[in-house]
Structure 1
Amino acid sequence: MQPVVLLSSPKGGCGKSSLSRNILVSAAQAGKRVVGVDLDKQGTLTTWSERRERARVAVPSLPPVPVIPAELDDWREALAHARATDADLIVVDTPPSVELNLNAVLSLSSAADLILVPSQTTMDDVDSTAPWMKRLLATQAKAAFILNRANRRTRAFSTIRARLVAVGPICPIEVGQFEEIPAAAGKGLGVLDLTRTNSGETFEALWSYVAREVGL
């Protein structure tokens, strides 16, 4: 079956939707057929996908990135719907506050081939994401932190990264605070849809990591 990448974190605003859409676009630009599943009631990934379809009317060369909106409690039906497509990869965006939906999120996690837990470089993020990573690893899930909106030049970067490494695996690619990421999203695009980028290599490397981890 198609591999499933799950973006999951109890911390709101850590970039789950942003990373989801850019992983989807990166895979699509690499020639993979993709589908997203949006389980967040805010529907951020769904809204972006609708915006992308409007952009594709003007630029048909943009690869399609369909997204299936669903409720978290209906994740099995949504995942079955996604698996019924001809996609090579499924990326699932989840809501924050996992402790309010613990059983559903843990069950969903057991169906994922890779779980990425976004974290910014603050102690608030560590306090939120570290216990979640421990719980995921206790279920034998394949999970890794991914540093998002990170700045290597700050002292906090090294401190927070060290704390996360002490808890669980960490993705070797961190995503910086690039203005082009939200700018592209506002047009229904991902970074790798753009012709000139500052973060293109970052997302190419992130896709290489994801593809290797899920066997693509």
Structure 2
Amino acid sequence: MAKEATKAKPSSVPWLVMASAKGGSGKTTAARNLAVLAAEKGHNVLLLDLDRQQTLTQWFQRRPAEAKTLSLATFPLKDIEAALPDIEAGISEEGISLVIVDTPPGVEEQASSVRMLLKRAKLVVIPSGQGTPDLAAVIDWMRFLKQEKVDAAFVLNRVKRSARSYDRAKLTLNEAGPLCPIEVRDLEDIQMTYDHGLGVAEVKGAGGADDFRGVWQYVSQRMGV
């Protein structure tokens, strides 16, 4: 299987990867909300859940039948080499136009699998909180991505704008690499939509919808999709 996987020809379909060296940064929240917005723009989206906790998969299973259609494949990151032939075949057969990937925490500990994933990444989104431990972890990760010549951008997540750490976090991340100009606020509406299998943009009047619309606009322009 490993030999077949190395021969899997990458499709021209862009891959958007959510990845961070720290757990709890908001990768899954970003993946599900950006997937919904991409689908609203007409993309046929394939979600890849590579996290053993399968939080994205559980959200997907809660989606109402009338919600925008998304596709999903679930397997651990360590199995990506073996899974790639089937993934690439499915992309072609199902007319997928965008792949969005949710990764586990501590991706830097699976160097071989991570590098295989990064070869397909059009853009890596690095969600981050505004606390010092969050910033230190994601800055190290951005440094690694730059060494690998992978296009990446920070997105500040669960932001409390009234906190003193907010301005410091923006300055720190801007110095370390590209930072999405739109951040995602720490709003209960964003978290509550998980229980219903929805993105925040699918709930009328929900707080945080414009936050993710702004992030999607930035990401889609960076990727050219």
Which TM bucket (shorter chain)?
over 0.9
Report how far residue 132 of structure 1 moved: 0.8
1:161 alignment partner in structure 2: 170
Q: Does 1:70 align with 2:75?
A: yes
SS in 1 for 2:121: coil
1:6–1:93: 8 Å Cα contact kept in structure 2?
yes
Q: Does 1:28 align with 2:31?
A: no
Of 190-199 and 67-76, the range deviating more from structure 2: 67-76
1:145–1:169: 8 Å Cα contact kept in structure 2?
yes
TM-score by length of 2: 0.89
Report how far residue 81 of structure 1 moved: 4.8
CA distance in 2, matches of 1:70, 1:90: 15
1:119 equivalent among 122, 128, 131: 128
SS in 2 for 1:186: helix
Of 120-129 and 104-113, the range deviating more from structure 2: 104-113
CA distance in 1, matches of 2:89, 2:158: 32
CA distance in 2, matches of 1:103, 1:75: 10
CA RMSD of aligned residues (A): 1.3
SS in 2 for 1:67: strand
2:156 alignment partner in structure 1: 147
1:37–1:82: 8 Å Cα contact kept in structure 2?
no
CA distance in 1, matches of 2:222, 2:51: 25
SS in 2 for 1:20: helix
Report how far residue 96 of structure 1 moved: 0.4
1:108 alignment partner in structure 2: 117
Q: Does 1:38 align with 2:49?
A: yes
Q: Give the residue type in structure 2 aligned to 1:34.
A: V
1:29–1:193: 8 Å Cα contact kept in structure 2?
no
SS in 1 for 2:162: coil
1:82–1:90: 8 Å Cα contact kept in structure 2?
no
1:90 equivalent among 83, 90, 99: 99
2:22–2:106: 8 Å Cα contact kept in structure 1?
yes
CA distance in 2, matches of 1:168, 1:114: 13
CA distance in 2, matches of 1:97, 1:148: 18
Q: Give the residue type in structure 2 aligned to 1:141.
A: V
The number of residues matched between the two structures is 210
Of 98-107 and 185-194, the range deviating more from structure 2: 98-107
Change (3 A) 1:47 1:82: farther
2:56–2:102: 8 Å Cα contact kept in structure 1?
yes
CA distance in 2, matches of 1:43, 1:211: 25
Q: Does 1:214 align with 2:223?
A: yes
2:15 equivalent among 4, 9, 15: 4
CA distance in 2, matches of 1:31, 1:111: 22
TM-score by length of 1: 0.92
Of 116-125 and 190-199, the range deviating more from structure 2: 190-199
Between the aligned residues of both structures, percent identity stands at: 34
